[in-house]
Amino acid sequence: MYRRSLTIKLRTGCLEQPAQFHDNARPLPNRYPTLNFRVLQMKKPIDKSMTSKNLASSCRRMALVLLCPLAIAGCDAPSAFKPFVFDMTRLNQDGSVNDGKDYAKQPWTCVLDNQSGLIWEVKKAEPGLHNINNTYSWYDSNPDSNGGFAGKANAGTCAGSNCDTESYIKAVNAEKLCGFTDWYLPSRFELNTIVDTSVALPGPTLPKAFFPEPQAGKYWTDTTFKTRRAGAWVWRFDQGSDYVVEKSEALNVRLTRPAPKKPGEQAKQPANK
């Protein structure tokens, strides 16, 4: 009897294939475990002389061979997955390190992801520029970076700036958040680096020890959808998945920037989007 093997891969998570984007994040380990099992496929047909009883019995055995790995992967595997361990440093408004002992008494303003090398804005419950409830439409007037469609200006609901992504970036850089003036809208890949896949619905799917925020939110990325330029990718932090939304929609914004280069470290060359 001849046989050949066919390898099937089941992947947890929402990304169908690794995507390449222009960004400043360092490579991170894969957070979406891959399950592998082998299915045997018969090369020759079953002997026609086999009785119907034996045929039914054989089919039942084949069904068990096929379904048992699926049952094991579906029931037991998720409990064995280890959650991603975040390594971050809390920063004050002036860029100094916050010990993180008591957010209520001494709140931090940003966090440095020591693995990706990105610094992230932390949203606030208080009214103002960084309020967690502020929303913005996607807008980029630069034809070199807007993916062929600028979006819609000032179509959100916010405080402290006009309510679009371009205006918000300008306002945050003007105030020198955590001592920096080069904040920008993260790419689809960059925003994924702070998604905590161990947190279940309704989220927020963020590492709470560093982002003590009560609401999940839906956050813009700078990544235009290639097959419809009027849309852009968004990460939703209630279930930790990404999807495409029209740029005219009013959603949340969380800015990022690369960490300062260490002495002797070579600067990363920008890549084309």
**pLDDT in tens for each of the 273 residues of the chain?**
444 433 333 333 444 333 344 567 666 655 544 444 454 454 555 455 554 555 555 556 665 555 555 444 444 444 445 667 899 999 999 999 999 999 999 999 999 999 999 999 999 999 999 999 999 999 999 999 999 999 999 999 999 999 999 999 999 999 999 999 999 999 999 999 999 988 888 889 999 999 998 888 999 999 999 999 999 999 999 989 999 999 999 999 999 999 876 655 554 444 444
**Which of 163, 184, 167, 160 is closest to 248 using CA atoms?**
163
pLDDT at 149: 97
Q: How many C-beta atoms lie closer than 10 Å to residue 171's C-beta?
A: 17
pLDDT at 21: 44
What phi, psi does 121 have (nearest 5°)?
Answer: -75, 140
pLDDT at 115: 93
pLDDT at 146: 95
pLDDT at 79: 46
Q: What is the rounded distance in angstroms from the CA atom of residue 189 to the CA atom of residue 208?
A: 20
Q: Domain coordinates of the chain in residue numbers?
A: 3-80
**Which of 9, 1, 76 is closest to 39 using CA atoms?**
9
- pTM: predicted TM-score of the whole model, two decimal places: 0.71
pLDDT at 202: 87
Q: Could you give the angle at the alpha carbon of 157 between the alpha carbons of 156 and 162, nearest 5°?
A: 70
Q: 190: part of which helix (H) or strand (E)?
A: helix 188-192
Q: What is the rounded distance in angstroms from the CA atom of residue 254 to the CA atom of residue 178?
A: 14
pLDDT at 215: 86
pLDDT at 260: 78
Q: What is the rounded distance in angstroms from the CA atom of residue 165 to the CA atom of residue 251?
A: 10
pLDDT at 270: 40
